[in-house]
Structure 1
Amino acid sequence: MSLSDRQNRILAFLNQAGGNLTSTELTDAFDVSVQTIRKDLNELSNQGLVQRVHGGITLPRQNRNLSFSNRQVINLDAKRSIAQAVADRLPEGASVFLGIGTTPQQVAQALLGHPGLQVVTNNLNVALTLCRNPNIETLIAGGRIRPADQDVMGEDTTRFLRRFQVNFGIFGIGGLSESGELMDFSLEESHLSRAILDCSDQRVLVADSSKYLRSAPIRTGLLDEVDLFVTDHLPEPVEALLRDKHTEVICTSGNETGESA
């Protein structure tokens, strides 16, 4: 099921508001009836994207990620713009990691017309997408398939990635904390993202604004370990964290680009 434009805006508003909103705030913000907002919130809750509480909604308190199919519909336009910004930066002949998640999948889609790359991935959708371009060499890791996440995981998977040293490591995260911590939902996800961070010349984080303040239990690293952060919206607390760092930021909503320093 796809999300309406208003439902995507509700999710963005919820993240910007720190994870809690009342029904009154939502009806005022979107100038619609209580019944209309209630229908939107029921649909978002049924998909596990929000948690209904008395008088409003909160971000769901999750120790597990949403299914891949549910994540595909969240902020899809934002993910596509992020993906195109990344694809525009990759030179011909580069070697690339593409990690787990729906935004790396969109990066793969944006790379379909690229003249040539070597891509290492454990993301099944990335591999299926890139095999449509014979000029892109795709290497896929072996391991245990996670049906709900549509990827491959495990010690063999992480060990395979650690055999490479690539030009660009492109990865997503489960959540981004207020203090700039990169959060994941499981240890094996964290180990895999850590391998990408450790084995890439340029580390590229792709994360739309719904990841800000999203709850995830495992700390993988810090935002200032990233060389390039591509997002659709940069919350002011995150911008403040990066002011004295050397992380380049591309914000696709305003076509802003520059080094946070």
Structure 2
Amino acid sequence: MTLSERQNRILALLNQAGGSLTSSELTQAFEVSVQTIRKDLNILSHQGLVQRVHGGITLPHQNRNLSFSNRLVINLAAKQAIAQAVAARLPEGASVFLGIGTTPQQVARALLHHPGLQVITNNLNAAVTLCQNPNIETLVAGGRIRPSDQDLMGEDTTRFLRRFQVNFGILGAGGINAKGELMDFSLEESHLSRAIIDCSDQCILVTDSSKYLRSAPVRTGCISEVDMFVTEQLPAPINALLRDTHTEVICTSTQETPHEPT
């Protein structure tokens, strides 16, 4: 089920508000009736995207990621814009890691007409997409398939990625906390993300704004470790954290860099 524009905006507001909103705040923000907001909240709650509480909603407290099908529809337009921005910055002939998740999957789709790359990935959907472009050499890591997430995991997968040193590593994150730490939902995911960070000349983080303050239990690293952060909307606290770092920030809503990296 595809989320409506208002439902996506509710999720964005919930993140910006620190994870809690009242129904009254939502009806005022969108100038709609309580009944209309209640329908939206019921849909979001049914998909596990919010938790209903008395008088409003909060971000769900989860030790597991949302289902793959749910993640596919959250902020889809934003993820597509992020993907196009990344694809436009990859030069012909570059070597690339492409990590797990729905935003890296959108990056693969944005690369359908790229003149040529070498891509190493454990993202099955990305691999199937990339094989449609004969100018892209795709190397797929072995390992254990996670049917729920349509990717490959495990020690063999991580070991395979660590055999390379690539030009660009593209990864997502389960969440970004208030300290700017990159969070994941399992140690396996964290190990893979860490391999991409460690074995890339330039690391590109791709996440939409719904990941800000999203709960996930495993700490992978810090946003200041990445060279480029591509998002559709940058929360002010994250922008402040990155102001004195080397990280370049691209906001697709404006196609501007909020600050120059040091």
TM surpasses 0.5: yes
Q: What amino acid maps onto 2:15 in structure 1?
A: N
Unmatched segments (≥5 aa) in structure 1: none
Corresponding position of 1:15: 15
Q: Give how far 1:255 is off.
A: 1.4
Corresponding position of 2:241: 241
Q: Give how far 1:68 is off.
A: 1.1
Cα distance in 2, alignment partners of residues 116 and 161 from structure 1: 20
Corresponding position of 2:203: 203
Q: What amino acid maps onto 1:122 in structure 2?
A: N
Q: How does 1:1-261 map to 2 (within 5 A)?
A: 1-257=1-257, 258-261=259-262
Q: What amino acid maps onto 1:106 in structure 2?
A: Q
Report the identity percentage. Answer: 81
Cα distance in 1, alignment partners of residues 44 and 68 from structure 2: 15
Q: Give how far 1:158 is off.
A: 0.3
Q: Deviations over 1:163-208 (max 9, x none)?
A: 1100000000000011110000000000000000010000000010
Q: TM-score, normalised by structure 1?
A: 0.99
Q: What amino acid maps onto 1:121 in structure 2?
A: T
**RMSD between aligned alpha carbons?**
0.7
Cα distance in 1, alignment partners of residues 50 and 93 from structure 2: 42
Q: Give how far 1:148 is off.
A: 1.0
Cα distance in 2, alignment partners of residues 260 and 137 from structure 1: 32
Single out whichever of 251-260 and 67-76 deviates more from structure 2.
251-260
Q: TM-score, normalised by structure 2?
A: 0.98
Q: What amino acid maps onto 2:133 in structure 1?
A: N
Q: Give how far 1:67 is off.
A: 1.2
Q: Give how far 1:259 is off.
A: 2.5
Cα distance in 2, alignment partners of residues 260 and 233 from structure 1: 18
Unmatched segments (≥5 aa) in structure 2: none
Q: What amino acid maps onto 2:260 in structure 1?
A: E
Q: Give how far 1:11 is off.
A: 0.5
Cα distance in 2, alignment partners of residues 204 and 162 from structure 1: 17
Which secondary structure does the structure 2 equivalent of 1:259 belong to? Answer: coil
Which secondary structure does the structure 2 equivalent of 1:112 belong to? Answer: coil
Q: Give how far 1:24 is off.
A: 0.2
Q: Once superposed, which parts of structure 1, at least 4 consecutive aligned residues long, lie more than 6 Å away? A: none
Q: What amino acid maps onto 1:225 in structure 2?
A: E
Count of aligned positions: 261
Cα distance in 2, alignment partners of residues 71 and 191 from structure 1: 21
Cα distance in 1, alignment partners of residues 261 and 130 from structure 2: 33
Q: What amino acid maps onto 1:201 in structure 2?
A: D
Which secondary structure does the structure 2 equivalent of 1:80 belong to? Answer: helix
Cα distance in 1, alignment partners of residues 96 and 261 from structure 2: 24
Q: What amino acid maps onto 1:259 in structure 2?
A: E
